[in-house]
Amino acid sequence: MSRFLVVLKRPLLALLLFLVFQTMAGMILLVARMVAGGGDTADAVSEAFFDANLMGIATFACNVLMALSCLYLFRRSLYTNSDYVPSSTHRKRSQVAILACILGTMALNLLSEMVALPNIMEEQMMAMCREPWGMLAIAIGAPLGEEVMFRWGIMGHMLRRNVSAPLAIVVSSVLFGLLHMNPAQVFFATVMGIMLGILYWRSGNLFWPFLLHFLNNSVACLQVWFMGDKVRDYSMVEAVGGTSVAWVMIIVLLLICTVILWWYVGGTENGELKTENDNM
């Protein structure tokens, strides 16, 4: 246990930096509002263009700074004595796994709507999704910063410190979920983090988890962009045919996702997936 706590020192420092950068983004918006003399709040439906775009710029910049900080905090020179060998599985396997994860996220979206947990960030996210910089921050900035931090940084650090892959995936995913700090997102982000972690573990490449993260966030942005305020009344559950059909879809989609990811993992226990001619 003591060794595990030592391993967590750098991940905990990364989490502290994450909170600092997130606070910086909020402070930039607060100061700008004070200078501008007020205006609509982020909770208002008719949020001012300036506020939403500025929040997008601040959020994007903070995610880039977070990624750069993690590149230094978890720099490879720290792990020269590590025995861990990253996997390098064939990209076609990763493409199939991505499709499975997309089905999994569809199931999670349905489940989130069924459970209907409080979404304390809904208005802020909708306001940002209406503006170019907001969309850029959510669709690209957040996946970039969070994948470098949670998968490449925290999870990669644990693997190189000889923590078992399942434990590294679970710990980084739970932290990923909790750091969203929104009841409606915590469970979704935690399960999503497990899928992202499996993709990173087995591919040995940050591109695949980034791609899934980008697709998930982009779809959410595009819904708001094209539907506007109508997105508030849109129901995936009703769109698929009601509660009973939605539950069946959730079970079937999660089952398909689980089976394919089990195949993707390949049943091995270490970081190296032994395949022939499977390098990207």
Q: Which domain holds residue 9?
A: 2-265
Whether residue 159 lies inside any domain: the answer is: yes
Whether residue 192 lies inside any domain: the answer is: yes
pLDDT at residue 45 tops 60? no
Q: Which residue has the tokens 């809904």?
A: 122
* Tally of CA atoms within 13 A in the half-sphere of 170 that contains its CB: 5
Residue 36's pLDDT band, with cuts at 50, 70 and 90, is: low
CA end-to-end distance (rounded Å), the chain: 37
Q: What is the DSSP string of the chain?
A: -HHHHHHTHHHHHHHHHHHHHHHHHHHHHHHHHHHHT----TTSTT--HHHHHHHHHHHHHHHHHHHHHHHHHT-GGGGTT---------HHHHHHHHHHHHHHHHHHHHHHHHHT---TTHHHHHHHHTSHHHHHIIIIIHHHHHIIIIIIIIIHHHHHTT--HHHHHHHHHHHHHHTT--HHHHHHHHHHHHHHHHHHHHH--THHHHHHHHHHHHHHHHHHHHHGGGGGT--HHHHHTSHHHHHHHHHHHHHHHHHHHHHHHTT--SS----SS---
Whether residue 30 lies inside any domain: the answer is: yes
What is the token pair recorded at 67?
């990624």
Whether residue 236 lies inside any domain: the answer is: yes
Cα 190 from Cα 172, distance rounded (Å) = 9
Q: Which amino acid, 46?
A: S
Per-residue pLDDT tens for 164-174? 999 999 999 99
Whether residue 219 lies inside any domain: the answer is: yes
Within 8 A by CB and 6+ apart from 242, the residues are none
Whether residue 7 lies inside any domain: the answer is: yes
Q: What's the whole-model pTM score?
A: 0.87
Residue 164: phi, psi to the nearest 5?
Answer: -60, 145
Cα 54 from Cα 52, distance rounded (Å) = 5
Whether residue 270 lies inside any domain: the answer is: no
Cα 212 from Cα 143, distance rounded (Å) = 9
Domain count along the chain:
1
More confident residue, 39 or 63: 63
Per-residue pLDDT tens for 175-208? 999 998 888 899 999 999 999 999 999 998 999 9
Whether residue 278 lies inside any domain: the answer is: no
Per-residue pLDDT tens for 212-268? 999 999 999 999 988 888 888 888 999 999 999 999 999 999 999 999 999 999 854
